[in-house]
Structure 1
């Protein structure tokens, strides 16, 4: 098996350019060049996405992960051969057949997945931070090196495509288009059934905001304790049996037939707990979280709790990725909030100093 090495020299050159241009945007704040900066930023992002997508699409056949499995599936399906996969999401089947109908190979398919995913993530960053924010390029460049982006591009082909629609769903939610967000969530489920976990969060968004940060912390502590004590094992078995009775195949229910460690894992628990920590820090910095921009923090916190509850399911990291993939965006949002609070504190301090009357004869 080859090591997980997706990128070549062109990617690193493009990434260096992204960071340098982001620094330039931060240092140069001349309003007269705003439109020029935005045009160059779009070109830089497009070029970077094109290079990364090309490198990912030309990955080795025997790369670690599910690459070979999906390549064989793609070729078998378009050759009319039988494949060991008995059930797949109709959206994924349809797009694979479409590529075969157009005589496009699997490399074009992998290219499309990476290309669309990165663009959807970039649009989400712009929605959360604002169209003119200087944070966008820093976050986007960080995502390219983020290990859970590698997981989506190297291992999880179906989930990677589904995440494109999830990104658009959260983008619409940030913009206030809740109905569109729900539709995109349902479309995501056509490519990976597990994406349906986003739908209740959008459908019951008002209830989620009423629960608040304190309620989510209590939920996280309760779920963590129950997972540690293995109280979810029976519940998971019941849910799998119930889904099977409705004709829904669950690929991860056979614990004995897969080479995967299940049960409570401290490393996964720590990764998922980061979402709760970031939400608490944001609450501490900004008081009541009633802005749409904070919605993604609630989403990640709830899905992190779900992942902790699913530790007894094989390949439960597939659920963890739904939350982990947004950590760069969330972390940058918290850092910006800290920076803004510090800057506001400095301004208030200097304003108070200027307003303090100096008594006669008083020296400094």
Structure 2
């Protein structure tokens, strides 16, 4: 569908297009008020067009081992299933059995399109539910998040699993539906057990100060403990089976796979912590859902901080990063916080996406 775009430029088109949309949002924010009907209608139309084009763009990407490494691996397994090879399925049952079922009825390109629909649509549903007429701004933050593109093109099992987690949160007041979707999320990728455990911990103990202190304490503990925490979690507490492949150095999203204490990733993670601190402790927001969301993010991210020096630890980081967009955006479109709220949000959105864009430019792909 987008075969006219050179493979080496495929990711770049996404990042540059998002930059143009970001500039468009800023310009509108400088001219219109947040309640302006004309501006809201404009972005409602643009938003739905963007949703369709973006889904088609990411879903119809070329199958390439050079630019989308994991995609080629999945394609090989899919082709074996198409030809009747009986591959052993012993983990991530929802993803693998879905792939097996699809191999009987559709070509591999259609399968990747389906997977990316499952990846993107939950973010749209969440945005529509919690942000109503302002949904596009939240949706833009979702798809403009650092690593969103990578987990839609490479780590697709992980990506779909976290998206089903997001979908689960749309049924926060219907617990049986929410927990059913949590189970499906974990069956897509077992690593989702980490944000689920964080969700349960935050459900049991509802004190945002404790979440904040736990995250802050994780930094010196990680610096002091180093590999001790990796050994504890992966060799003694059973997380190795839940996160198989992360520790062995398998391909993640290529250039973001450096080891060591990642201060740049820690800085990015702190955006969510700072937002939660500001809205809960400074602006006194007592929204039950938001405090719970902050707890999930802080606890799951603290886990990553403890194992930050692991190979491809960005995959662990994404188990909290996927919640950063709603964590930052939710209060700004649920509560009146600033005088020129639309303008302030546009600045925050710009800073948020600029980190993603700069990391893309820095890594060159």
Question: Cα 1:167–1:70, aligned 2, differ >3 Å: closer, same or farther?
Answer: same
Say whether residues 1:128 and 2:130 are aligned partners. Answer: yes
The CA deviation at 1:248 is 6.1
Q: 2:199 touches 2:292 (CA, 8 Å); kept in 1?
A: no
The CA deviation at 1:194 is 0.3
Q: Deviations over 1:285-342 (max 9, x none)?
A: 4325343234322221221111111224322211211322333333333545785344
The CA deviation at 1:189 is 1.0
CA distance in 1, matches of 2:71, 2:143: 19
1:221-240 maps to which residues of 2 (within 5 A)?
221-231=216-226, 233-240=227-234
Bigger Cα displacement from structure 2, 283-292 vs 305-314: 283-292
Q: 2:142 touches 2:325 (CA, 8 Å); kept in 1?
A: yes
Question: Cα 1:80–1:316, aligned 2, differ >3 Å: closer, same or farther?
Answer: farther
Aligned twin of 1:168: 167
Aligned twin of 1:97: 100
Aligned twin of 1:310: 307
Question: Cα 1:273–1:248, aligned 2, differ >3 Å: closer, same or farther?
Answer: closer
CA distance in 1, matches of 2:239, 2:318: 28
In the alignment, structure 2 segments of 5+ residues that lack a partner are: 1-6, 342-365
CA distance in 2, matches of 1:281, 1:338: 13
Question: Cα 1:248–1:281, aligned 2, differ >3 Å: closer, same or farther?
Answer: closer
Q: 1:158 touches 1:192 (CA, 8 Å); kept in 2?
A: yes
Q: Matched residue pairs, number?
A: 328
Aligned twin of 1:78: 82
Say whether residues 1:320 and 2:326 are aligned partners. Answer: no
TM-score, normalised to structure 2, is 0.74
Aligned twin of 1:196: 193
Question: Cα 1:205–1:177, aligned 2, differ >3 Å: closer, same or farther?
Answer: farther
Say whether residues 1:216 and 2:211 are aligned partners. Answer: yes
The CA deviation at 1:137 is 1.4
1:28-107 maps to which residues of 2 (within 5 A)?
28-29=36-37, 41=44, 45-60=47-62, 61=64, 62-81=66-85, 88-102=91-105, 104-107=106-109
CA distance in 1, matches of 2:240, 2:143: 39
In the alignment, structure 1 segments of 5+ residues that lack a partner are: 345-364
Higher relative contact order (CA 8 A, sep 6+): 2
Root-mean-square deviation over aligned CA pairs: 4.0
Q: 1:216 touches 1:302 (CA, 8 Å); kept in 2?
A: yes
Q: 1:15 touches 1:48 (CA, 8 Å); kept in 2?
A: no
Say whether residues 1:158 and 2:167 are aligned partners. Answer: no
The CA deviation at 1:223 is 0.8
TM-score, normalised to structure 1, is 0.74
CA distance in 1, matches of 2:240, 2:159: 26
Question: Cα 1:243–1:208, aligned 2, differ >3 Å: closer, same or farther?
Answer: closer
SS across alignment from 2:188: coil
Q: Deviations over 1:7-38 (max 9, x none)?
A: 479x77x969x959x878946449xxx9xx59
Aligned twin of 2:11: 5
Q: 1:272 touches 1:305 (CA, 8 Å); kept in 2?
A: no
The CA deviation at 1:4 is 5.4
Question: Cα 1:256–1:226, aligned 2, differ >3 Å: closer, same or farther?
Answer: farther
Aligned twin of 2:113: 111
Q: 1:230 touches 1:263 (CA, 8 Å); kept in 2?
A: no
Q: Deviations over 1:198-222 (max 9, x none)?
A: 322333443331x32x222221121
CA distance in 2, matches of 1:245, 1:120: 27
The CA deviation at 1:122 is 1.8
CA distance in 2, matches of 1:257, 1:70: 13
The CA deviation at 1:94 is 0.7
CA distance in 2, matches of 1:244, 1:95: 26
Question: Cα 1:203–1:249, aligned 2, differ >3 Å: closer, same or farther?
Answer: closer
Bigger Cα displacement from structure 2, 327-336 vs 277-286: 327-336
